[in-house]
């Protein structure tokens, strides 16, 4: 049997496309090591995004792919994860306890931005990341209810607040601190200052990702936040309806203006599945998010059905990703979470990062 060399193995790995970001393993810098000893080959893969639920599947798929292209005496592939900090807007510096901030925005209210943000945060955590969520939806903070949390956050030093934790996710919300009516009358600068303070004065515990649920719309508050918070990437939630899509387009322009990369678009309420008969109906139209993503050259991250269980779970303070972790909707949220983080992993590194890295090995 002829032996294989390292360069050939690398060439073969170039033909394996990572389904989470659509880029091959070598270009994505996921190949950490290749060792060849005669016809015995070992490949170490390190994904830049949390992917606990698919590590074994990825490992098997890579092995199968290599076996289909060449003959090995023995082949061992290990797949692990290493999450690093990515660059933010040039004028800003990342916060020391937060590797990556992901902003979740929508062009208008009621499209399911908060529901998506909270399930996305829980899905990133389910995939193995340390995650926080900041409820910046100052005029309608809904994250506390969706996570079944209430009461004032604790402070150990009278200066900073400890995040409140639900299902392993660290959270902070204006809803813990002030009455809804009080926040409603805050004008733009007051609201943005309050949010910045909330972000800064929370004692975040070593986050891989902080998901920020932005207020709906693309007005001054959203623009200021997108400008002043060190964000690594944003996602836009829309429904397939024309009007929501036009509003979502404004979201894309807003992030382009402040040089924040849009990691993709999530289409929510895309198909109604009748809980009685299973009949599927596209109440808000179909495919709009994908068309918009293609037209604007951003990624389409996935589509959630209009599903009564998603609303009920959120209302009961136990979002779908934790209420029904193996169900169809949870699978979609986890796939969106992996794709979001995988696309972020392809972006430039933050060289000012002061974090030790976390390595999870699948053996």
Ligand X SMILES: Nc1ncnc2c1ncn2[C@@H]1O[C@H](COP(=O)(O)OP(=O)(O)OP(=O)(O)O)[C@@H](O)[C@H]1O
Could you say which residues in the range 80-119 bind ligand X, by CB under 6 A?
106, 109-115
Nearer to ligand X, 109 or 325 (CB): 109
Tell me the closest approach of the beta carbon of residue 162 to ligand X, in angstroms.
25
Nearer to ligand X, 30 or 106 (CB): 106
Using the Cα atoms of residue 154, residue 156, residue 161 and residue 162 in order, give the sign of their dihedral: negative
**Angle (nearest 5°) at CA 165 between 163 and 167:** 155
Query: Does the annotation flag 22 for ligand binding?
Result: no
* DSSP of 11-73: HHHTT-EETTTTEETTTTT-EEEEEEETTEEEEEEEESS--GGGHHHHHHHHHHHHHHH---S
Nearer to ligand X, 140 or 206 (CB): 140
Nearest CA to 141 among 106, 168, 172? Answer: 172
Counting contacts by CB under 6 A, is residue 262 touching ligand X? no
Nearer to ligand X, 137 or 299 (CB): 137
Nearer to ligand X, 113 or 164 (CB): 113
Nearest CA to 270 among 292, 290, 285? Answer: 285
Query: Does the annotation flag 206 for ligand binding?
Result: no
Nearer to ligand X, 115 or 173 (CB): 115
Tell me the closest approach of the beta carbon of residue 7 to ligand X, in angstroms.
48
Residue tagged 């209302």 (tokens): 315
Interacting residues of 348 by C-beta distance below 8 A, sequence separation 6+? 86, 87
Query: Does the annotation flag 109 for ligand binding?
Result: yes
Counting contacts by CB under 6 A, is residue 310 touching ligand X? yes
* DSSP of 266-284: EE-S--EE-TTT--EE-TT
**Tally of CB atoms within 10 A around 256:** 12
Beta bridge partner(s), residue 207: 98
Candidate list 43, 54, 304, 337; residue touching ligand X; CB under 6 A: 304
Q: Which two tokens stand for residue 55?
A: 């590590």
Could you say which residues in the range 185-224 bind ligand X, by CB under 6 A?
216
Counting contacts by CB under 6 A, is residue 314 touching ligand X? yes
Query: Does the annotation flag 339 for ligand binding?
Result: no
Counting contacts by CB under 6 A, is residue 73 touching ligand X? no
Tell me the closest approach of the beta carbon of residue 106 to ligand X, in angstroms.
5
Query: Does the annotation flag 107 for ligand binding?
Result: yes
Tell me the closest approach of the beta carbon of residue 18 to ligand X, in angstroms.
27
Yes or no: say if 236 and 105 are a contact pair by the CB < 8 Å rule: yes
End-to-end CA distance of the chain: 28
Instruction: Identify the DSSP state of 163.
Output: P
Tell me the closest approach of the beta carbon of residue 52 to ligand X, in angstroms.
24
Counting contacts by CB under 6 A, is residue 140 touching ligand X? yes
Tell me the closest approach of the beta carbon of residue 304 to ligand X, in angstroms.
4
Closest residue to ligand X, Cβ-based? Answer: 109
Nearer to ligand X, 143 or 360 (CB): 143
Binding site for ATP, by residue number, is 107-114
Q: Which residues are annotated as a binding site?
A: 107-114
What residues make contact with ligand X under the rule CB under 6 A?
A: 106, 109-115, 137, 140, 142, 216, 268-269, 304, 306-307, 310-311, 314
């Amino acid at each position: 049997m002829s032996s294989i060399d390292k360069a050939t193995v690398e060439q073969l790995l170039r033909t394996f496309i990572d389904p989470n970001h659509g880029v091959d393993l070598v270009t994505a810098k996921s190949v950490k090591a290749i060792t060849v000893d005669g016809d015995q080959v070992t490949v170490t893969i390190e994904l830049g995004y949390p992917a606990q639920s698919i590590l074994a599947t990825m490992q098997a798929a890579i092995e199968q792919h290599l076996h289909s292209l060449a003959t090995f005496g023995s082949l061992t592939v290990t797949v692990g994860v290493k999450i690093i900090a990515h660059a933010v807007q040039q004028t800003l510096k990342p916060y020391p306890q937060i590797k990556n901030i992901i902003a979740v925005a929508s062009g208008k209210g009621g499209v399911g931005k908060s529901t998506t943000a909270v399930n996305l945060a829980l899905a990133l955590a389910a995939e193995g990341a340390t995650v926080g969520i900041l409820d910046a939806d100052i005029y309608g903070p809904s994250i506390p209810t969706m996570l079944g949390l209430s009461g004032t956050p604790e402070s150990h030093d009278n200066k900073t607040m400890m995040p409140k934790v639900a299902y392993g996710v660290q959270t902070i919300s204006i809803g813990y601190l002030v009455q809804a009516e009080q926040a409603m009358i805050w004008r733009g600068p007051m609201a943005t200052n309050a949010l910045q303070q909330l972000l800064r004065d929370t004692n975040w515990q070593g986050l891989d990702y902080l998901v920020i649920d932005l207020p709906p719309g693309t007005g001054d508050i959203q623009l200021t936040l997108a400008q002043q918070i060190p964000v690594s990437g944003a996602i836009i939630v829309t429904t397939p309806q024309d009007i929501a899509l036009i509003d979502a387009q404004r979201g894309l322009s807003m992030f382009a203006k402040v040089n924040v990369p849009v990691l993709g678009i999530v289409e929510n309420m895309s198909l109604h599945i009748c809980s009685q008969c299973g009949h599927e109906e596209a109440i808000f139209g179909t495919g709009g998010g994908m068309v918009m993503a293609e037209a604007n050259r951003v990624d389409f991250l996935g589509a959630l059905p209009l599903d009564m269980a998603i609303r009920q779970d959120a209302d009961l303070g136990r979002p779908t990703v934790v209420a029904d972790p193996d169900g169809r909707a949870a699978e979609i949220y986890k796939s969106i979470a992996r794709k979001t983080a995988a696309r972020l992993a392809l972006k430039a590194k933050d060289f000012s990062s002061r974090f030790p890295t976390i390595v999870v090995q699948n053996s």
